[in-house]
Structures are given as C-alpha cells and as structure tokens.
Amino acid sequence: MKEKKLGFIFDFTGTLVGVEWNTKAALREIFAGLKALGIDPTPLKGCRYSLLLDKAKELAAERGVEERVVSDLVFSIFDKYDFDALSRWKLKGGAKELLDWLKTGGHFLALVTNVGQRAMDEALRKFGLKGYFEVVITRDSGFPMKPNPQSLKYIFEVSGLPTQRVIFIGDSLDDLRAARAAGLKVMIITGGEDDQETISRCRPDFIVKDFYQIREVIADLIKMSI
C-alpha cells in the first residue's frame, strides 16, 4: 500500500544548525541605536529576540519615532549577526540525510526561520539545500516572526495537507508556541535555544535528541499513517 504524504516544516537555527547567534552583542548594538534615537531601551532588557522588534516599535510610538526607522535599525543589526553566525553554522549530524530521505519519499518540506533572507540564501547554498524546501519563509518574507503562527498557517495552507499530517520541527519555545497556535503537531530537538526542562513543561508532541532519533520517530509515524 502506498504511504500517505506527510508535511514537515523545519526551523533553522538551533534545529538544522547549532545556535551560533551572538545575541548579547546584537542587543548591545540595538540598545545603543535606540538610545541614539531618543528611545530608552530599558524595558527591552530580557526580551526574547523574536519579540524585540514589536516591543521596540511600541517604545518608538511612545517617543514619536517612525516605526520604519526602528525597523531599519533592528533589521540591519539582525542581518549583521546573521552573517556572523553563518561563518560558524554547521549542519547537525544526520540532518542532510533526513532531508534526503524525506525528499525522496515525496513528503512536503518547508522552512520557516527568523533569520533574514540574504543570510538564509547563503546558508542554503553553503549546505547544498537549495531546492529541498517547497516554501522558505524568513523574517523578510512579510510575516511576523515566530512565535506568531501566521507563517506556519500559510505554509500549512500551501501544503494542501490536513493539520494532523503536518509536523513542525524546531528547538525553542517560540517554535512550540507558533506550532500550537497554528494547530500543528510539534517535534522539539533538544540542545537548542531553550533547555529541555523548560520545553518539557510545555508538553510538545515529540521530544528528540538528534536527527537519527527524528528519523526513527518519523518512520514509525509513516507506518502508522498518522
């Protein structure tokens, strides 16, 4: 009997590659830039990277600073540190083999990341992954960044698959929350942005330690035809 097609949406940083982003240095530059615009960045201390832009826009509105000015500042610094991380990114063991296996099996593959478009294009070329994903969404694609679920909902619609046959594979609370809000199953690979204890409390559908275990779990799902 022919196996039914499944959909897999992958995160990038912390999932397919390690977490190499120099968050502290980036935040220092962003805070300095906001101060130069007359915006006190103190309320942003401890803010997650994924929520920083929206919070900075709120502060800008209070000070009468145009959102575009703040967006340009934040995104230019994000781009700088994307390329800094790109110099150190390496595909995790078994990641390429898993993608090859899924692609050969005819499953739907997509990528949604908070990384910018230019760095993502370079990364996909670097790792030989151009053409693997039917949809690639970056922070420059016009969707709010995860944990907002809009990008995942869009990819799910493009896939044409029922929700129960689409799994989001990520590493962070932002990934988990986005997938849940989009109504998708979520698989978390440990060792990423958020620690396993924190992730476990949120009860993802699957927790795995590496891509070899991911393959075992997916093989079982295919057999069960979820």
Q: Give which of 124, 184, 187 is closest to 152, Cα–Cα.
A: 184
The pTM score is 0.91
- Please give the C-alpha separations between residue 94 and each of 11, 16, 17, in angstroms, as whole numbers: 15, 9, 11
pLDDT score of 114? 92
Q: For each successive 10 residues of the chain (226 residues), what is the average pLDDT? A: 77 95 92 96 88 90 93 95 96 97 95 96 97 96 93 92 92 94 94 85 94 94 75
pLDDT score of 1? 35
- Please give the C-alpha separations between residue 175 and each of 69, 131, 162, 182, 200, in angstroms, as whole numbers: 28, 23, 20, 11, 13
> What is the sign, positive or negative, of the torsion defined by CA atoms of 71, 72, 74, 80?
positive
Q: How many CB atoms lie within 10 A of CB 224?
A: 7
Per DSSP, the residues of 27-40 read HHHHHHHHHHTT--
pLDDT score of 2? 45
Structure tokens at 125: 């070329």
Contact 167/186 with Cβ under 8 angstroms? yes
Rg of the chain (C-alpha set):
18
Q: Is the preceding peptide bond at 147 cis, omega within 30 degrees of 0? A: yes
